Amino acid sequence: MGHPHLSKEQVLDLLTIAFRRHGKDGATIAVLETATGLRRNSLYHLFPGGKGEMVAAVLDHAAALMYERALKPLQESGSPKYRLTAMCRALDDFYCSGREPCLVGVLSLGVPEDLVQQQITRAVTGWIEMLASVIEEAGIPSRRARERAEEAVIAIQGALVVSKALGSEHAFKRLMKRLPDDLLQPCIAG
C-alpha cells in the first residue's frame, strides 16, 4: 500500500533511511519503492533524473538536517567548549549513539567524480571549517585548529564504523564525551 499523501520532505526522509541501510547500489528501485510506499512512476515523477537525482536530493536533505540538528550549535553563542559539547550531544542524537551510519560515508564509497562527490566534499569541508573556527576561537593556532578539526571528523566517522561493526554504541558515545576537551587542549610549544 502506498503513501499518496507524503510530502517531498517525508519521501526524502524515507529515502535517506533506505540509502543509509543499503548504500547507493543496494538501494534498488524496488527497495526504494518498498521504503517509501511509492510506485516507480511516482518516484520518477518526483525525481525525473532517476536514482542519481534521488541520491543528490537525499544528500542535500541530509546536509540540511545535519546542519540544523548537529552543526548549528557551533555558530551559536557560548564558549567554544559549550558549543563543541552541544555539537557532540547533537551528533550523538543524530547518529542514534552510533547505531546509524553516516549517509555521506555510505554514499561516498565508489562514487566517481560527479555532482554527488562535489556535494560530499562541500559537506565535509563545511563541517571541518565550522569546527576549526570554534577551535581557533579558543586560542588554538589556525593551522593546528584545522588539523584538529580534520582529525575530529576522521574520529567521528571511524567511531561510527566501529560502533556499527561491533553492534555497540560505546565507541561512539565515548568519543562524543571526550571530543570537546581533546579539541581544546592547549598546544605544547616545541
Mean pLDDT, consecutive 10-residue segments, the chain of 190 residues?
73 92 88 94 92 89 90 94 95 89 75 69 92 96 96 94 89 95 82
Report the CATH fold assignment for 8-183: Tetracycline Repressor; domain 2 (1.10.357)
pLDDT for position 143: 96
For the chain, what is the mean pLDDT?
89
As a whole number of angstroms, the distance between CA 185 and CA 31 comes to 46
List alpha helices for 47-190, DSSP H: 51-66, 80-94, 103-108, 115-137, 142-166, 170-183
Is the Cβ–Cβ distance between 52 and 112 less than 8 Å?
no
| Per-domain boundaries in the chain | 8-183
pLDDT for position 1: 44
